[in-house]
Amino acid sequence: MAELVEFRDDITGGHIERTQAYIKIMLDAMREHGIYEDEYSGWDFDLVLQSSQLHDIGKIAIKDGILQKPGKLTDDEYAQIKEHAFFGGSVIDRIKEYTTEQSFLEYTKIFAISHHEKWDGSGYPCGLKGADIPLLGRLMAFADVYDALVSERPYKNAYPHKEAVGIIMAAKGTHFDPLLTDLFLAVSDDFEQVYAMQG
């Protein structure tokens, strides 16, 4: 299913593998420093990492003309792209009806529906704010945004690593969880290495 998403959204080749690697970096650092232990207590970290590959599964419901548009999106097209987070949750709910193993799908749904929420409540699709955003969504925000910044797109050039890190740090407390933003800064060189090897 992850391959299907990446095949359709062919301008983001490698995004799924890289974001999974970024998530592992953040998880390892979070555990090392004892950050948010209460929130990740009981997680199956192997399943978390596997499920992160499907954070963009909702894109299978987006029209090709929008998903693969070689230029900047109109306001209406961007509004349709934003629906992929909601669609992702809906897709997972349908799959859950036919399975008995739910843990993997629960993690997947959280990633899919919450990775575009923002700390100040200005994100989508639910406008969640602060700690109301699931920790998995708050973590994926770093992986997703960093990879988008350092990757070339038809409508933008790739940002250098240091500039991408600066953009993320400037959004501490608005887009990103402040505590996790400091953690990201501490491991940002590891992010750069992942992109260098897989980008």
Mean pLDDT across 186-193? 98
CATH homologous superfamily of 2-198: Hypothetical protein af1432 (1.10.3210.10)
Q: How far is CA 146 from CA 84, 93, 115, 151, in A?
A: 19, 28, 13, 9
Selected catalytic residue, list 24, 59, 69, 96: 59
Average pLDDT, the chain: 91
Which pLDDT belongs to residue 73?
A: 84
Q: Give catalytic status of residue 72 as yes or no.
A: no
**pTM (2 d.p.):** 0.90
Q: Tell me the pLDDT tens digit for each residue of 40-49.
A: 999 999 999 9
